[in-house]
Amino acid sequence: MKDGLLKPDTFSEHRLLGFPPGVSAFLITFNRFHNYVAGELKRINEGDRFSPNPRLSKEDAEREVDKRLFNTARLVTCGLYVNIILSDYVRTILNMNYAPASSWVLDPRRSFSEVFDKGSFPVSTGNQVSVEFNLIYRWHSTVSAQDEKWSQDFFQKLFPGQEVSKLPLRDFLTGLSNLRGEIVAQKPECRTFGGLKRDSSGFFNTQALAKLIAESTNDVSAAFGAHQVPVVLRLVVMLGISQARGWHIGTLNELRKFMDLKPHESFEDINPDPKTQEAMKALYKEPDFVEMYPGVLFEHAKEPVYPGSGLCGGFTMVRAVLSDAVTLVRGDRFYTLDWTPATMTNWGFDIIKPDKPQDKLARGGKMHHLLDIAFPKFYKDNSVWKLFPFTTPGEIKRIFEKQGVAGKYDFSSPL
């Protein structure tokens, strides 16, 4: 490809083809947004910054333009992603949809000079992800009933006639390795998923992709908590436990101490359920010995608060998730110190900036920009399916009817 473009409807990560198809469809929305941005940057050519350098050969000049367009479009696209995390995802997990007429967003990019001095809350310090957080974000317990059924069918095709949860780990890994070999043998731009087919230009049907996203929007996730991981993912979790041990990860209480949380003093502190307590006692003898990865799965799930708490996992997990949202964004120089029109162009900076007038109906959310560009004319302008895609349409309707604002929105299904 040239002119900063990605190959159409393409991603390189082969593992996503082992996930329900809505995951791949969601990633493709960012592919389409990136290519839209690259096209607009070239068309506008602000300050001639994307014009070929006449002092270079034609080939080198085109390569340089391609590089500039790609990198600038990537900054803009990732900037939209950051805003979606803060304005759509974090707001949803804090149950902010229940706060009438609130567009409050936890934005760690602010200076907070009214609270902290300049040195006590630094920015642009780096944003590496810890191994602990890698494990904490393995939310197998929340897989929906629909996605659990998809996973069962997927593994049944991979291991015909066998009960996946009872397979020897060696056989399971061999099957996954064989699948990986089949996938990577294909070029990324030739791979398909979810029964979709590419056209002669390499694109998937827009309506079919949008349908996958809408179906996921309408799908209710399962709850966090002990005994919640689907049986079909039993071996996946076992591999995660083995991986954590291989990485020499600390215990649950060691992580809590690091985050200035009170260590669990008893198994009852971790989970009041007697059945879960007995399982922990049999495995660990003492609360201080409970491993971190199983521990965050064992922890008793929080109760919902309206607004305040919508992501009702264990307290350690939720604290870590919110800390990560702040730390990774605030530590990234591209989205703090370099969050300027100079790096993104005036047009690129404007298209993704928070608090645009058209975001008011979405209460500050930004996902609707992504969906409108990826799937033009699929959603109505006031459709809750695009304005609040992380909450099921039925639930958002109930909330807005209670708040007396339902008349502003369209709740009809685009399917």
* Binding-site annotation: residue ranges for heme b: 140
* Structure-token pair, residue 230: 């689907």
Buried (b) or exposed (e) across 156-186, using 16+ Cβ within 10 A? Answer: eeeeeeeebbebeeeebeebbeebeeebeee
Spatial contact of 344 and 72, defined as CB atoms under 8 Å apart: yes
Q: What does the alpha-carbon distance between residue 159 and residue 141 come to, in Å, rounded to a whole number?
A: 22
Which residue(s) pair with 271 in the sheet?
A: none
Spatial contact of 230 and 140, defined as CB atoms under 8 Å apart: yes
CA dihedral 350, 351, 355, 359 (to 10 degrees): 150
Q: What does the alpha-carbon distance between residue 156 and residue 34 come to, in Å, rounded to a whole number?
A: 36
Spatial contact of 50 and 42, defined as CB atoms under 8 Å apart: yes
Spatial contact of 331 and 124, defined as CB atoms under 8 Å apart: yes
Spatial contact of 413 and 215, defined as CB atoms under 8 Å apart: no
Spatial contact of 345 and 133, defined as CB atoms under 8 Å apart: no
Chain centroid to CA 307: 21
What backbone phi and psi angles, to 5 degrees, belong to 361? Answer: -65, -30
Which residue ranges are tagged as binding site? 140
Spatial contact of 387 and 409, defined as CB atoms under 8 Å apart: yes
Catalytic residue from among 36, 81, 98, 137: 137
Return the residue matching tokens 């008011």: 360
Listed residue (135, 262, 257) closest to 270, CA to CA: 262
Q: Residue 276 is which amino acid? A: T
Q: Is 137 tagged catalytic?
A: yes
User: ω before 307 within 30° of 0 (cis)?
Assistant: yes
Spatial contact of 366 and 359, defined as CB atoms under 8 Å apart: yes
Return the active site residues: 137
